[in-house]
Chain A
Amino acid sequence: MTAKEPVLLTVLVETAPLRWYVAGISLAGEPLPLLKSAAGNLSPYIGAPLDDQVGFLRHRLSGVLQRGCDRLWGRQKKPCQVVFVADGPFVQAPPELTSRVAGHFVEWMNNPPVVFFTTAAGFAATPSPVLHLVAGDLDAAFRDPLGAGLAALCGLLDQDVWELSPSKPQAGG
């Protein structure tokens, strides 16, 4: 088993199109785009009771992390921190949905640890998104790489550098 390069496994959630992106960010702040979903991939939570919304998003986003880990593994990299960044609270849902989902991941996963942020102004590359902590902690050593990598990723969101992940939104999991 060879030593793998540690990276920040980063999931960006676009709450309006209900789409996600998963990427790596090296500890030097270099972005590594991996996968993105089609718009609507997260839509099955809408209209469900709160507990079911939480359950769906836990499950769907866990799968996103899994695929991210798998793709990193193929590139000899390994997550040392999971970072979620949503461009706002989950839409058409009770306000506590975002904090419930964030709290779940922070509580449920400790290796690697999880931190969950939202941004107030979407994923603009310039200036770099201002992050609001929802749950978890970020090691101080990771702040600069995250800032640099996130800005770079935001500039790549509309480019053809992401593998499109097919999904079955109606399956609920």
Chain B
Amino acid sequence: MSPPPKHPILLVDDEPEMLFSLQGLLRREFELHTAESAAAALEVLQQHVIHVLLTDQRMPGMTGIQLLRQVKAEYPATVRIVFTGYADIKAVIDGVNHVGLYRYLTKPWDPDELIQVLHEAANWYEERAARQQLLADLRDHVQAGELLAQGGPAPVAYADYVQTGRHLLQRLDRALATRSEA
């Protein structure tokens, strides 16, 4: 059995040594992409699907929070985490109020805890993706029901339609249970 695919994670820090250090910690568990600036990070996002973005706050040109504002607008599914070396309360408020931060981490972090947080963030990405897929499937199902009700050319047999509905209910049940546990 092949191992599960690694979640793609983007690390952004203007200090190459910090990226090197993070790569040493994380490369075994995640598919890593790195960028030394916010602009470079946006280029990576254009080329790859990124599940979790972890960025330093204090960078020349564009801060981490400024980068994440743009990421939220253009890549809303990407889970957003910022880290910083000190308490910048304005950045914290911006992050909470406008960027939808998943976590605000402070240096130094415990590497074991960082790995745990990134796994949780990646799982959160997957759960949200699954819910989005469920929503899309429910929409398709409702549309198929409307066509059946109109009596026109049916896209599915009625028995299949009912069976699909039952499966969707089961998925919805699981999704709601996962959400309440979270």
Which residues of A does B touch, CB under 8 Å? 1, 55, 58-63, 65-71, 73-74, 78, 104, 108-109, 165-168, 171-173
Contact = CB atoms under 8 A, between A and B. Distances in A.
B107 interface: yes
**A interface majority secondary structure:** helix
A59 B110 contact: no
Given A59-B85, A104-B86, A168-B16, A69 B59 contact: no
Interface stretch (B18-26, B46-54, B145-153, B168-176): B18-26
B25 A73 contact: yes
A98 to B, nearest CB: 16
10 contacts: A59-B84, A59-B85, A60-B85, A66-B108, A69-B109, A70-B22, A74-B25, A108-B86, A108-B106, A172-B58
A1 B116 CA distance: 10
B112 interface: yes
Interface size range on B against A: 20 to 34
A45 B73 CA distance: 35
Given A166-B17, A167-B17, 5 more contacts: A59-B58, A65-B107, A69-B110, A70-B21, A108-B106
Contacts of A70: 21-22, 24-25, 111
A62 B22 contact: no
Nearest to A111: B110
Contact of B14 (A66, A78, A109, A171): A171
Contacts of A172: 58, 60
B108 A73 contact: no
Closest 4 pairs (CB-CB, A-B):
A62-B85, A58-B86, A59-B85, A65-B108
B127 interface: no
B120 interface: no
B87 interface: yes
Contact of B18 (A66, A68, A78): A66
A166 B16 contact: yes
Given A66-B108, A68-B108, A69-B108, A173 B24 contact: no
Contact of B15 (A55, A61, A63, A74): A63
A67 B86 contact: no
Contacts of B109: 66, 69
Contacts of A65: 107-108
Contacts of B110: 69, 78
Interface in B75-99: 84-87
A62 B86 contact: yes
Given A69-B109, A78-B110, A58 B17 contact: no
B105 to A, nearest CB: 10
A1 B58 contact: no
Contacts of B86: 55, 58-59, 62, 104, 108
Nearest to A164: B17
A70 B60 CA distance: 24
B45 to A, nearest CB: 22
Contacts of A108: 86-87, 106
Given A58-B85, A108-B86, A173-B58, A69 B111 contact: yes
